[in-house]
Amino acid sequence: MLYNVPRWGSRQFGKNVNNILFYTYLQAGLMREEEQTTMTRARIRDLGITIGTYPTGTYNAITDVPGVLVGHETIISDEGRTARTGVTMIVPRDGGIWADHAFAGYFSFNGCGEMTGLPWITEAGLIHTPIGITNTGSVGIVRDALCAYPIEEAARFAVPPSIASTWTGSLPVVAETWDGWLNDIDAFHVTKEHAFQALQNAHGGAVEEGNVGGGTGMICHEFKGGIGTSSRVVKYPHDSYTVGVLVQSNYGNRRHLSIDGVPVGRELDYSLVASPWIEPPKGGSIIIIVATDAPLIAVQCQRLARRATVGLARVGGMGFNGSGDIFLAFATGNHLPFGAQGPIDLRMLPTTSWTPSSRLSLKRLKKPS
């Protein structure tokens, strides 16, 4: 979250998740802001670069996980105080998450950042609401909006009145990265209405990436950063599951950027592409959300979130002291209805299926496929 801001002001499953994250970071808009208005956007596979060997989902996005929706609200304005910011919402279970909760777990690689709701995830291993991502100064307003939404706008996702005002809706997950270089963050541009609109905009299918939503003002490896997403399909003898990832990337030095094992950041000299910084930053942040329809319980979600660190490292993330690198994983393979009083039958992948998965991840780190 912390940056070495230049003096001239602020104008402007184990085996699968690592490769997904590697791909996703590259989708997060690593180009200069002016190039985004003059160049045709391309995903990395469109350029002939394939990361890993597992097949993607239909849209190569977190929305390939059944029931997961994503919505953005983007705020760009040069009238008055500069605005380059926004909100991104991830909505599990087609909006039914308020009534049918999901197991979740998190990992903090470096904690100079914020993600609300984590004490309850530590305690119970559950999420009850959509997940919001925004800028550092807007965590509170987005958190409040998520609490108010089922009460004021329940019709969008048909939240039952008996649930809308309960305490479970008052512990939402909202995460942040700092966009105060491109955005006048102290103007607090994000409002409750913007957060509501991001929820209203939530949809399945293709996900808008790069300079949108919460990622609008972000910088990654000294290029334009933002929102990225991808997915992979993991096949088991008995079934297949989808793992999807969405990131808000705002971290990294250019010299550390690696693509499929190639240190391309070293070749992109500042004489070719200027840096937004007078000197490389000593911090930054990345928020990583991992979703799956596999039947995982809370501790397995925590393990899945922890493995996001490997994907970040493959791209060049270092976990600087001033970084807010916080990762959350949730799984929709079990149903956990609100207000249930009796025992609930659960399914889970056996822990033995994770051991070969981790080995495969390490092999691909040594020899990218």
Asked whether residue 166 is assigned to any structural domain, the reply reads yes
One-letter identity of residue 120: W
Q: How confident is the model at residue 5 (pLDDT cuts 50, 70, 90)?
A: very low
Number of H helices, E strands in the chain: 10, 12
Give the separation between CA 351 and CA 349, rounded to whole angstroms. Answer: 6
Least confident span in 65-79, 207-221, 282-296, 351-365: 351-365
- What is the CATH number for 43? 3.60.70.12
Domain for residue 162, yes or no?
yes
Nearest to 244 by CA among 42, 21, 53: 21
Q: Is residue 200 part of a domain?
A: yes
Q: In this structure, which amino acid lies at residue 334?
A: N
Q: What is the pLDDT of residues 263-280, one digit of tens each?
A: 999 998 888 888 887 777
Catalytic residues: 285, 323, 325
Buried-exposed string 20-29: b where 16+ CB fall within 10 A, e elsewhere: bbbbbbbbbb
The domain of 183 spans: 17-366
Residue 123, SS3 per DSSP: helix
- Which pair of tokens denotes residue 105? 């777990």
Q: What is the dihedral of CA 47, 60, 173, 161, to 10 degrees?
A: 140
Split into its structural domains, the chain has a count of 1
Q: Is 343 helix (H, G, I), strand (E, B) or coil?
A: coil
How confident is the model at residue 276, as a pLDDT?
82
Contact predicate 128/173, CB 8 Å: no
Cut 0.85: pTM above it: yes
| Share above pLDDT 70 across residues of the chain, in percent, rounded to a whole number | 85
Mark out the alpha helices in the chain (DSSP H runs): 17-26, 33-36, 118-124, 139-152, 161-164, 192-200, 264-267, 298-306, 308-315, 355-366
Q: 1 lies in a domain?
A: no
Residue 4 inside a domain? The answer is no
Alpha-carbon gap, residue 65 to 54, rounded angstroms: 15
- Cross-strand pairs, 107: 327
Pick the more confident residue, 349 or 29.
Answer: 349
For the cut 50, the answer to whether the pLDDT of residue 19 exceeds it is yes
Question: Would residue 131 count as lying in a domain?
Answer: yes
Task: Kindly report, residue by residue over 31-56, the tens digit of the pLDDT.
Answer: 444 544 556 778 888 888 888 889 99
Residues 170-183 have pLDDT tens digits of 899 999 999 999 99
Question: Over 60: is that where the pLDDT of 16 sits?
Answer: no
**Rounded Cα distance, 329 and 164, in Å:** 24
CB 65 within 8 A of CB 292: yes
- How high is the pLDDT of residue 366? 38
Contact 57, 68 (CB under 8 A): no
pLDDT at residue 364, rounded to an integer: 34
pLDDT in tens, 190-249: 999 999 999 999 999 999 999 999 999 999 999 999 999 999 999 888 899 999 999 999
CA distance linking residue 160 with residue 113, whole number of Å: 33
Determine the average pLDDT of the residues in 113-131: 98
Torsion of CA 173, 211, 255, 274, to 10 degrees: -140
